[in-house]
Chains A and B, each alone.
Chain A
């Protein structure tokens, strides 16, 4: 008997990071509809996960001195992994990951420009002890299911983005096209929906959207920071014509404005882009791949329906995701296990399902790099190559080897978590498959697991043999192709 309704397991793999034993306890009492509501309406539950860092019954962090996730990027990475594993708001972290890939920004360019401490603050600062605006990932958390239009405006003013796409040097004399181009090509309407003239006009729209440094700005000062600054005298005040409508009445030209009023140009353009029907469809296609399937091409009816929900709700994402998770496309069994896990989804799910007893999250970072993903370090502004692009012989081996490391690390915990009657050779394979929820095993692979367990020792169930079998099965199942699918 499965530990959870398979549909709820499916929901937790897609709208979260899989189900740990504590999650099973929470969700086993819910109907599917209640589980969707629990994930979506997370704001009723406090965002208290960071306060649990350091608790012995949680995963551990690796740190040189005092844990400093606001100023050390590797510690910021660990904090994010901790949140994915232990949050009571899994969909919020999942959406933060979605937006991190959508607005892909890489730490290394920021560090080259501003030094490691300032770059980490720009990526990951949680407001509290240190001065300065929140880091980019906090923005994605805050707007995880919020208005896309508002998120877009926040992203345009985000210090990390202003360094990443060179907005900080966008001036009246030398308009910088980088952000103007990508905001249309990658963040909203997509290729083929705008012209080169639109790119030049968009660059001029954002002239003067620059950065300002705090007083006493020293790179290694943890209290120093950079913040958005509308530099009115660097704003190009001329009118900017576009090839698509900017205003509800159909007008395509952003009018000439005074320097002091010039910031409205950017708000007008971003609003137009957020409400553009191609943006609605493009986000719908991305959500299809993220929530429904990477194997089936997007269903045209899904795209139109989701785009419609998005526009009817003033670009708010919460009703969109609610619609998707409740829709027949999501619940239909044909789309189950129809998505490739990204390395971070794979690793976090494995930790949640196998265990985290005394596991140090710092040890996850190098395996993740070997699998092709470093958090806060997408390869370029287009984000990571998703889906099948995650897999090669080398990355597949890296996943299997991580499964071995994790199984070795959780060996004792794994066995301790099994009931006496689950430890027999006969029961163990079923128990582990049920707990790890891989895609269905065909007869051949299923038989291979059985033969393996039998071969280790038909003699009986000495403690060492049970240890070896449980750890070996965890390694084989988590390292299997079936487990790589969500």
Chain B
């Protein structure tokens, strides 16, 4: 493992903090003692983000000729300088929140991330990003395998999925990531009131404690019940959090605020999963700052900006990294309905107090025939293997050896985002 001694110790402590089936607020104690636990917040842009309109190569004439109605004018982009290949780049005009973070050096933009023969299926593509294996869309996920490396028993809240379906990335051999889309309904409900509810909860706990050794399927269900009952109070703590600043409304803002509450209250979750959808922009995606895509960008940028500022106000920005991805990028040329179809390589972002901000990788040249393109120059060819970004996160942020988790050494060529 190429991890400094300092980092190793720091993460060793954090891992122990997490891995115990902790009494609810052990991590509060840990924090009071100056021991910090790191969090990874994965943000999935569902539907295939049009990366070329997120980070715009606004001096590429083919960007404008191939996107006559949906391009963003050079005068409108939020300039972020030029990448290593000299391409001048600018963020989508509705990403003002992210521009600030970029200028503060806390936002890394990794261009042209993907894999060979990129799947054009939402299902398969999302699953491949989950398994971290371009040849297989089934089996456990990269974060699930990370959990498998932690000592047993794993805390039931080690991961917190804010969507209703468990994403493949979180599937582990051990199973059981709590899905908590709405903290306010993640509570013990009863048809009764007062003391009777306490009695009911005690009865439910006793019932779920039944080992049922002769009926493994019943034991499995009891484990799910126990996981819920054990985590209820900590989740309630997180949802009662009052943020230091206002979050934008909508599902994405609510999810990020809940995640911030969980981090600030120290519930012990190591990985959070957040999703925001609507990126499958086959038609009427809009040009310039407007349209459907402009709305998506505003939701993303404003939400992340609020989240980062809130955690910074709480003194926790250095303990948190946000990783943003989508299952694929989109076609370079717009289609007949002022939208874009499923494409190949896309954009990843990393955001956090310990992130080394800046532009990573090089933008594609959109001139037909250019070697940075593929599929008859219809798509952007990947430059950075997505697994190398995962490797960097695992090795340098979560503090585990990425090689067994990813089934190979993908450190070479990884962007130095930490």
Identify the A interface with B (CB < 8 A).
295, 338, 340, 369-370, 372, 379-380, 388, 391-398, 400-401, 404-405, 407-408, 411, 439, 442, 444-445, 447-449, 451-452, 455-456, 468, 471-472, 474-476, 479-482, 484-485
List chain A residues, Cβ under 8 A from B210: 442, 444-445
Q: How many A-B residue contacts, CB cutoff 8 Å?
A: 133
Kindly provide the distance from the CB of A73 to the nearest chain B CB, expressed in whole angstroms. Answer: 18
Q: Are B164 and A370 in contact (CB under 8 A)?
A: yes
Stretch in B19-27, B189-197, B361-369, B370-378 touching the partner: B189-197
Q: Are B179 and A392 in contact (CB under 8 A)?
A: yes
Q: How far is the CA of A38 from the CA of B395 in the complex (A)?
A: 63
Q: How far is the CA of A239 from the CA of B374 in the complex (A)?
A: 34
B208 at interface by CB-CB < 8 Å: yes
B309 at interface by CB-CB < 8 Å: no
Q: How far is the CA of A400 from the CA of B199 in the complex (A)?
A: 15
Q: How far is the CA of A439 from the CA of B222 in the complex (A)?
A: 13
List chain B residues, Cβ under 8 A from A475: 189-191, 200
Interface string of B327-365 (1 = CB under 8 A from A): 000000000000000000000000000000000000000
List chain A residues, Cβ under 8 A from B188: 400-401
Decide: A394 near B225, CB < 8 A? Known: A408-B191, A475-B200, A485-B217. no
Q: Are B196 and A456 in contact (CB under 8 A)?
A: yes
Q: Are A476 and B228 in contact (CB under 8 A)?
A: no
Cross-chain pairs A/B with CB under 8 angstroms, 18 sampled: A372-B165, A392-B178, A393-B178, A394-B178, A394-B179, A396-B221, A396-B225, A397-B232, A400-B188, A404-B189, A408-B190, A452-B203, A455-B199, A472-B192, A475-B189, A480-B225, A481-B208, A482-B218
Q: Are A380 and B123 in contact (CB under 8 A)?
A: yes
Kindly provide the distance from the CB of A382 to the nearest chain B CB, expressed in whole angstroms. Answer: 8
List chain A residues, Cβ under 8 A from B225: 393, 396-397, 400, 480-481
B255 at interface by CB-CB < 8 Å: no
Q: Are A393 and B156 in contact (CB under 8 A)?
A: yes
Output the nearest chain B residue to A447 by Cβ-Cβ distance: B206
Which residues in chain B, 76-126, are within 8 Å of chain A measured between CB atoms? 123
Q: Are B191 and A472 in contact (CB under 8 A)?
A: yes
List chain B residues, Cβ under 8 A from A407: 191
Q: Are B217 and A392 in contact (CB under 8 A)?
A: no
Decide: A394 near B203, CB < 8 A? Known: A468-B196, A472-B196. no
List chain B residues, Cβ under 8 A from A295: 217
Kindly provide the distance from the CB of B388 to the nearest chain A CB, expressed in whole angstroms. Answer: 29
Decide: A476 near B199, CB < 8 A? Known: A394-B179, A396-B221. no
Q: Are B204 and A400 in contact (CB under 8 A)?
A: yes
Interface string of B204-223 (1 = CB under 8 A from A): 10111110100101101110
Kindly provide the distance from the CB of A225 to the nearest chain B CB, expressed in whole angstroms. Answer: 23
Of A372, A398, A442, the contact of B212 (CB 8 Å cutoff): A442
Of A379, A451, A472, the contact of B190 (CB 8 Å cutoff): A472
B185 at interface by CB-CB < 8 Å: yes
Interface string of B157-193 (1 = CB under 8 A from A): 0000100111000000000111111000111111110
Count of chain B residues with a beta carbon within 8 Å of a chain A beta carbon: 44
List chain B residues, Cβ under 8 A from A396: 221, 224-225, 227-228
Decide: A449 near B186, CB < 8 A? Known: A372-B164, A392-B166, A481-B218. no
Which residues in chain B, 262-292, are within 8 Å of chain A measured between CB atoms? none
Q: Are B207 and A476 in contact (CB under 8 A)?
A: yes
List chain B residues, Cβ under 8 A from A471: 191-192
Q: How far is the CA of A405 from the CA of B192 in the complex (A)?
A: 10
Kindly provide the distance from the CB of A438 to the nearest chain B CB, expressed in whole angstroms. Answer: 10
Output the nearest chain B residue to A454 by Cβ-Cβ distance: B199
List chain B residues, Cβ under 8 A from A338: 217
Q: How far is the CA of A400 from the CA of B187 in the complex (A)?
A: 10
Q: How far is the CA of A388 from the CA of B202 in the complex (A)?
A: 26
Q: Are A392 and B189 in contact (CB under 8 A)?
A: no
Kindly provide the distance from the CB of A363 to the nearest chain B CB, expressed in whole angstroms. Answer: 13
List chain A residues, Cβ under 8 A from B207: 444-445, 448-449, 476, 480-481
Kindly provide the distance from the CB of B18 to the nearest chain A CB, expressed in whole angstroms. Answer: 17
List chain B residues, Cβ under 8 A from A444: 206-207, 209-210
Q: Are A340 and B217 in contact (CB under 8 A)?
A: yes
Q: Are A370 and B185 in contact (CB under 8 A)?
A: yes
List chain A residues, Cβ under 8 A from B190: 404, 408, 472, 475
